[in-house]
Structure 1
């Protein structure tokens, strides 16, 4: 029996990367070699006495992931390729939360970052309600006199009302300016006789107008005060019972709470359910032609209000990851006609025919968006269906998406930023909103085939469509949020546009590119180069890096922006590390050109788990659980 070698094992002084590449390591953390290559977040040292328990203690939130991945892989072997899970239930110490397969938190959950990131958020002010004021932020009851005293001075009110009714923001579709002007004059003549729900509408309009344009601290204070008084008026009016102006007031309030939050909130989703019930109790879901006691004018305005409610419900439900609340099967309310305000008046007896969509009336944008919503609803249904879907159905919906976009009036169809610079900001925003929504639905329709296309050529089109749409979305992000003249122009007039709804579209695109890069990191390098010359890895990385830079610049504005910045930074670091290890084709941190150089790169070293555990999670992207990925939008 040979004698046992009693020499002590050689102590490994170099980091894992320098040892792998046989480079000189200065033993810092991070070392100079890793820093020069932009791999500082992955500089790690392995000592002989480091045990598995050490890793588990350092990263408790991901210690069980290799076993989870193995179990998912076993399940994937027996799963139908077209089957999709109905949603994700995310447990926490406060209970469980259900999110369907079109929500963004599953993407973070799937790369095991959701717990680490969400538990690392900034401490919130316990004195401020973390949700809608109307649900649990109101304290002492107030009188009508106190509410009237909360209105800004009349010159300020007049200025804000003029700003609102001369804008083209979407809430304007619910109001008929000449009628509102008469009601406002009547209110000024006798404020004490005001209807509390109408006063809530007034506060809501003032609040909304204060956010249309960038302003100083005074505008911010005005927004908060008007929002608070809007909630107080609704509470005094008993918003749970039917009444004139209540649906309009609730819609305004709901949109303002959403705008204030910047991030998706469960409370806003709960308020949506209350609002929908109120509208149904008041019969908004039935067309007014069935009820002769409803005037022609009121019937058309009710159609506009109901359309806005349907659009709002779809957007908020999609972001919250829950089913829509509007009862489609029980509704027969027709779409409003494309009419100007001067085409309508309270004493009208005949409704004029609809104008062509080339006439940009207040309702034109909503009518176009509703056509896309009809397709998007079908896409969401098959994405969340437990019965799976046929690929023919996917291609059919893709064709309908293409037809929708080509039928958009030319004035509202996307064009280059150079030819848009002299156009009105509202027209530019409508173009981008149509284009962003169109590209996002392409992503949602085709993303599940990003994996299957690598093994079945019939899905190659879906892979291309998904990546093409994701890159277009991130290109729009640069246009609107970057250092361009166009971005400055729309930011000065589109406060509502830069809400969490748009954030969700950018996150979806970034996560799809992250996954594609994860696929390529574990595939044969030569084969990938030969197959994917039309989708260059460098272009994908640059798109992701530019998006990450924009998130980094805005990470202090909302929790979603912070999580997006950390997640995209994490994936960029992982992608750069694998490219270095496998091909020695280093992409330096400063090597990107164009817009990417204008934004800082983050250093999320505190959030990065050990590389060994991450490899167990991402080594087989072909079995990537889309349901987990999805729960982040």
Structure 2
């Protein structure tokens, strides 16, 4: 009897790898999970189903086409889908005709551009909103309307990137007002993203570098990570840096002559305005490129941009329209990106300091020092308009979104400092602070993500989705090292379910779908080890340590044992602390020389000031002291934090499953 087929019908027909689950991850990612099955609707016919498809028969509507160019499409993106027509022809004139068919109506273009300027520009701030809006209006008012054949293809790539970003991130209510059905969001976003790449290639962006190309690549990140083209985007980042250096964006210091905003009559000449505006945009672009490079250091292990090798100054707080300085209490889009830049700069310093050190004790000392710096940065460097004490005017809704994004970014990057010691924190009490801070920051991320979803106008950013996945994964690892009788187990399991609910609300996002599968796969691996098996596993691991056998360490730690004392003296000679119930545990961190970096009081004060209402929990619960076992071979491997846009070492597969 032949073996039953385990792959789903769709993957079998397309000759694609399937995880043999129903629904499989590929169908879930592509938004067709409901139709995933192993049955053949009209019966199996080997003459049909075992015949490889012809190249010319590629279905353009399938979102799994990953060749970086548009293959086939249904014509102009209108609410009603049309029958498939021919795609790129391979000739410049024919390709421009096809790209023209993807351009929506003029009113829709203006609506998408306005939305990006007012609701999304704060998240990257790599272009001048008013200037780009005027350029779009000028192209639309030209004879015959916006014609791709009459435009710089590198600028056209930026336009497609802006439209794809707006369509991908906008709430459903905005899509309805613009005339785009929700069911067409994924398809249109993918076509416009591919159109962005096609325009860059047709415009020979490598041999003819331009600021438009850099802006198009950076803006396209918003849509690429959500629709499943993170690997392609990562490849473009490599070209991004070289083009920026070729354009001299790494050499834009403040110049008294070129950047002077003063004028005798109060009016800056148009020629000077354009020069000042272009230099400010260049600084913003360079800052974004530095952010991308420094945040990828934790995956690549090296930086491509050294802070000693560029002279570009930070962008100034000036209004894009008037080119006048703006008071610190007035929110600008530059405030969020400047904060992200400062945190990313600290991370670059951290990986540079820890790179050549192999001893755990020295590495952990560096981690604690930079942990303190990032926490202090969350209070001291956050813009005044993002401060909870001084609320800005309510006429800019993006200020609340930027504040939440800044809080989640600071929390997630604090967590990323400790990622190499996360597993050890479950089994070694001297790293208890890592477990505490990882869970605390995970709760902060989930709290802010829920608040973000409660806002009906808040855009759907890929960074929020990635941070929710990492937070939920951390909590999954925590409950795997707890007993079900502990109160924290039920609390953290509930938080994981809430995280899954958050990800489900992002609809057909490929990033959210991969995150859902990751979290559910961790939960599917089984219940936490039983009390007896964990105690046995611990004795097997430490059977050579007589002291440990005399003083077994359990988790949660006994309330009489201090993580700081165990950090200083080791688990064999626990010191006493005040009795249980005297207060919640916030670990005091001691360095190797005995100096304290952040005390209980100062640590709590930092979060109280930055987050107003920090999550409240007692990780060192004294209820039911229980043992814990080694991380088993059947456990799900740890993935890199925020690796959703970083390709795996074995190829350009989805990094969540690498």
Alpha-carbon displacement from aligned partner over 1:415-459 (angstroms, at most 9, x marks no partner) = 9xxx99978541222122111111112222234444555776553
Which moves more between the two structures, 129-138 or 440-449?
Answer: 129-138
Distance of 2:229 and 2:66 partners within structure 1: 10
Alpha-carbon displacement from aligned partner over 1:513-561 (angstroms, at most 9, x marks no partner) = 2222233349xx8xxx7xxxxx833322222233244446668642653
Classify 1:172/1:454 alpha carbon distance in 2 versus 1 (closer, same or farther; 3 Å): closer
| 1:377 partner SS | helix
**Which of 335, 340, 349 is residue 364 of structure 1 equivalent to?**
335
**Which of 272, 285, 290 is residue 237 of structure 2 equivalent to?**
272
Give the structure 1 partner of residue 386 of structure 2: 412
Distance of 1:546 and 1:120 partners within structure 2: 22
Which residues in structure 2 correspond to 1:296-335 (within 5 Å)?
Answer: 296-314=276-294, 317=296, 325-326=304-305, 328-335=307-314
Are residue 156 (structure 1) and residue 108 (structure 2) matched?
yes
Give the structure 1 partner of residue 631 of structure 2: 621
Give the structure 2 partner of residue 508 of structure 1: 470
**Which of 173, 197, 203 is residue 125 of structure 2 equivalent to?**
173
Shift of 1:402: 1.6
Give the structure 1 partner of residue 90 of structure 2: 140
The count of aligned residue pairs is 459
Give the structure 2 partner of residue 131 of structure 1: 66
Higher helix share: 1
Are residue 401 (structure 1) and residue 374 (structure 2) matched?
yes
Give the structure 2 partner of residue 615 of structure 1: none
Shift of 1:476: 3.0
Classify 1:546/1:281 alpha carbon distance in 2 versus 1 (closer, same or farther; 3 Å): same
Which residues in structure 2 correspond to 1:1-150 (within 5 Å)?
Answer: 120-122=24-26, 127=59, 128=62, 130-131=65-66, 133-134=68-69, 140-143=90-93, 144=96, 147-148=99-100, 150=102
Q: Is the 8 A contact 1:266 1:320 kept in 2?
A: no
Distance of 2:529 and 2:395 partners within structure 1: 44
Shift of 1:494: 0.3
Classify 1:582/1:430 alpha carbon distance in 2 versus 1 (closer, same or farther; 3 Å): same
Give the structure 2 partner of residue 567 of structure 1: 519
Which residues in structure 2 correspond to 1:234-249 (within 5 Å)?
Answer: 234-249=200-215
Distance of 1:312 and 1:508 partners within structure 2: 19
Distance of 2:508 and 2:193 partners within structure 1: 22
Give the structure 1 partner of residue 406 of structure 2: 434
Q: Is the 8 A contact 1:440 1:473 kept in 2?
A: yes
Give the structure 2 partner of residue 39 of structure 1: none
Q: Is the 8 A contact 1:285 1:306 kept in 2?
A: yes
Distance of 2:433 and 2:528 partners within structure 1: 27
Give the structure 1 partner of residue 555 of structure 2: none
Alpha-carbon displacement from aligned partner over 1:310-342 (angstroms, at most 9, x marks no partner) = 334555x47976755556553221111111113
- State the structure with bigger RCO (CA 8 A, min sep 6), 1 or 2: 1
Q: Is the 8 A contact 2:19 2:25 kept in 1?
A: no
Classify 1:570/1:396 alpha carbon distance in 2 versus 1 (closer, same or farther; 3 Å): closer
Shift of 1:270: 0.8
What is the TM-score when the length of structure 2 is the normalising length?
0.58
Shift of 1:254: 3.5
Q: What's the Cα RMSD here?
A: 4.7
Are residue 519 (structure 1) and residue 477 (structure 2) matched?
no
Which moves more between the two structures, 217-226 or 265-274?
Answer: 217-226
Give the structure 2 partner of residue 460 of structure 1: 432
Classify 1:510/1:162 alpha carbon distance in 2 versus 1 (closer, same or farther; 3 Å): closer
| 1:363 partner SS | helix
Distance of 1:132 and 1:383 partners within structure 2: 38
Q: Is the 8 A contact 1:372 1:401 kept in 2?
A: yes
Distance of 1:119 and 1:318 partners within structure 2: 35
Classify 1:560/1:169 alpha carbon distance in 2 versus 1 (closer, same or farther; 3 Å): same
| 1:387 partner SS | coil
Q: Is the 8 A contact 2:412 2:442 kept in 1?
A: yes
Alpha-carbon displacement from aligned partner over 1:66-110 (angstroms, at most 9, x marks no partner) = xxxxxxxxxxxxxxxxxxxxxxxxxxxx9xxxxxxxxxxxxxxxx
Give the structure 1 partner of residue 161 of structure 2: 204
Distance of 1:293 and 1:476 partners within structure 2: 42
| 1:167 partner SS | helix
| 2:329 partner SS | coil
Shift of 1:288: 5.3
Give the structure 2 partner of residue 25 of structure 1: none
Shift of 1:367: 1.0
Distance of 1:309 and 1:405 partners within structure 2: 22
Q: Is the 8 A contact 2:124 2:288 kept in 1?
A: no
Distance of 1:555 and 1:394 partners within structure 2: 37
Q: Is the 8 A contact 1:206 1:226 kept in 2?
A: yes
Which moves more between the two structures, 570-579 or 170-179?
Answer: 570-579
Distance of 1:322 and 1:286 partners within structure 2: 25
Shift of 1:394: 1.8
| 2:311 partner SS | coil
Gaps of 5+ in 2: 1-5, 7-15, 31-57, 73-87, 176-180, 260-274, 536-627, 644-658
Q: Is the 8 A contact 1:169 1:426 kept in 2?
A: no
Distance of 2:129 and 2:157 partners within structure 1: 17
Q: Is the 8 A contact 2:346 2:374 kept in 1?
A: yes
| 2:527 partner SS | helix
| 1:575 partner SS | coil
**Which of 288, 304, 321 is residue 342 of structure 1 equivalent to?**
321
